Amino acid sequence: MRRDSALSDGTAGVSDVTRNGAAPTSTAEGAARRSAVAEEQAFLDLATARRDRLAEHLQVELSAAARDPLERARQRMLRHQYDELRRARDGLVFGRLDGLDGTVRHVGRVGLREDGEDGEPLLVDWRAPAARPFYTATAVDPQGLARRRHIRTRGSTVVGVDDEPLDGTVTADLVGEGALLAALDQRRTGRMPTAISTLQREQDDIIRAEASGPLIVQGGPGTGKTVVALHRVAYLLFAHRTMADQAVLVLGPSPRFLEYIAQVLPALGETAVVAATCDSLLPGIQVGRDESRLLAEIKGRALWQIALESYVTSLLPRPRELRLRWAGEFYVITAATVAQALASAVQGRPYHRARAAFAEQLHHLLAEVVVEQREALMDEMEEGFEDILARVDRDMRHDHHSGRTSTGSDIDGLLSEEEIEHLRDRIAENATIARFVEAWWPTLDAETLLGELLTDRTLLARFAPQLSPEEIAAVSAEPAGWASSDIPLLDALAELLGEVHAPQPQGEFVADRARRQRGWVYGHVVVDEAQELSEMQWHMVLRRCPSRSITAVGDIDQAEAAHRHTSWAQAVHAVLGDRWTAAELTICYRTPREVMALTEPVLKKAGSHNTSPRAVRSSGVAPWELTVTPAELAGTAAHAVRRLQQRWQGGTVGVIAPAERIAELLAVLSDVPVLTATQSKGLEWDATLLIDLHGIADEPRGWNGLYVALTRCTQELGQLIVTRRSPHP
């Protein structure tokens, strides 16, 4: 399997390959090619030696114990540099730019300088501005270059080069076509590789786009959406160093997807990244049951955000007169004063933070009332009420065990500022006052609160009046446990309630700290398969990145979620409004032309108004189909998979079928993934066996699912057409 990507770093099978993949046509050309390979081998050896020396130096630096926080911060930076160099063993150098002025720059995974403090640049980091022409220069726009060279390596050996003259002669519409097509023709391994050596211009434009607001990237199958999204993370962390202090969140559609992309960003040298699904964003909360598409659609609507806000607001205490006991006496805080304190405490704060703010004000208010009453009593004392004075001295006597010198009330009966402050502290620490605040403004739990709301038809009708009686009945009848669509509701409630005691995030790395904290604010969020997000899930995304530095990639035509959105404008309007930028990937690198030709009628039946991406490669293998009866299905599928595995030895084969046939197929297919169309989203194999097309099309949003299923292969597509009934003898 391989994620919905355009490209992969890879090597050709031979060392002599021309721009179009054909063998050299003359002895002179072959000799020139061998000379170029030898030249680049010498440079790779030089760069590798320099990388090794730097890594050894950093290892020595890291062996010393850090003595203070500043030294620990420095060692974290050195550790990042060391890890980046260590991961750059493979594909250290992959490109070269020859300028019209005779300058030569090599491009690679990391930046290296020659020996010496003031050494000249030896290797340009692919993320640096100086490397951008490697991805964007064309014969029409050479950007000061005479030639671009793609260098293919296997381990520490240069195995091939692709030279592109940039002299104004247009020979191809792809950058590094030979290297690109060689990479695409490689066998799939079940893991997504990096693609920094073969990114194309429209991909690079998105990778380096500004990150100041939401960017929504539409891309059909095989256009490299995920490659672009992940390489954009690496670029942003390189270009905006402070972003690493906040970490980047990568949201994927499934754990299988996260496993598939797990090594891409570390291979690019990035560790300040948290990968998750929407279901796993809440620490300690797990999805425990499935739910119907109807309920998923209802609970995914944006109306819940307002409903939950109103629900929590209704739980705030109402202003009233408060009668508090302190030191044996009762003191009254008026309703008007309480109302003013409440308004000041709330001011947009979450429920528990507002309560903490109110409690702090209450401590001051009670102290003021106590002081005022004491002063009133002192005034009465001056008129001769010695008995009142005795009571005041008894109730308000400052800690007589402290051994302090006589001041304030010891002299004239009035409290000093220091004594008043001490009184506030005593009130704040008093357990009786704390119990009163808890009873009047109780601590709430998001899970308990949501459970009460979702099972109470009266509450649902009050706070979500947009729901019909039938929808309210459906929601309130749900069984116990959390479904996927409950997670965004829990997240919204947790945000509205706030932490009772904000935890201090622990961990050496920022990603570890961010992963443990629900309320962590990220520097950037990437959403893959973004067309599947509900409106409430979009709220989850925005909550984690209020700066709106978001990159969302997906294909609206592959949407299979329960929501009814058929355009990006519909999908994001409830949360982002019109404040987002659109971009598009138009070239299909993965799926061969032979397969893409099958997708147009499927797209039309799915209701799409988009144009399929343009396929740039041919596998030379025509899609085939075989009609079988239900009784023949399992055996025929097993035989077909074995044949595909033999033909694509060293690669991968995947099987896609309707949900109702998965169990039957798993019984006979134990060594290949057998998935529904939804589960296969974002994955790819060398060969795909597609079973029961009509059964997939009959599923909810089935034509969208069939579009997904058709476009998972990089080489060969086989189809088993299952008859609806066994033929008569």
Task: Please state the residue numbers annotated as binding site for ATP.
Answer: 219-226
**DSSP symbol at 417:** H
In whole angstroms, what is the distance from residue 133 CA to residue 144 CA?
9
Report how far apart, in Å, the C-alpha atoms of 68 and of each of 58, 72, 266, 467, 674 are: 19, 6, 28, 58, 54
Q: How far apart are CA 592 and CA 588, in angstroms?
A: 8
Sheet containing 524-528: order of strands? 273-276, 248-251, 524-528, 550-554, 215-219, 581-585
Q: State whether the Cα torsion 568-569-571-572 is positive or negative.
A: positive
Distance CA 463, CA 478 (A): 18
Task: Judge contact between 511 and 249, C-beta under 8 A.
Answer: no
Give the per-residue SS3 of 251-302: ECCCHHHHHHHCCHHHHCCCCCEEEECHHHCCCCCCCCCCCCHHHHHHHCCC
Task: Tell me which H or E stretch contains 95.
Answer: strand 93-99
User: Which residue has 């060392």 as its token pair?
Assistant: 15
Distance CA 639, CA 636 (A): 5
Closest CA to 89 of 109, 113, 59: 109
Please enumerate in sequence order all residues whose Cβ is within 8 A of that of 685, keeping only pairs 6 or more positions apart, or say none: 1, 2, 188, 651, 652, 653, 654, 673, 712, 713, 714
CB atoms under 10 Å from CB of 663, counted, come to 9
Which residues sit in the known binding site? 219-226
- Phi-psi region for residue 224, left (φ > 0), alpha (ψ -120 to 50) or beta? left
| Closest-CA residue to 520 (of 272, 252, 246) | 246
DSSP letter for 441, please.
Answer: S
Quote the distance between the C-alpha of residue 1 and its chain's center.
21
Contacts of 413-419 with C-beta under 8 Å, sequence gap 24+, read: 413/374, 413/378, 413/381, 413/389, 414/374, 414/375, 414/378, 415/371, 415/374
- How far is residue 7's CA from residue 617's CA, in Å, rounded to a whole number? 12
What's the 3-state SS for 519-578? CCCCCEEEEECHHHCCHHHHHHHHHHCCCCCEEEEECHHHCCCCCCCCCHHHHHHHHHCC
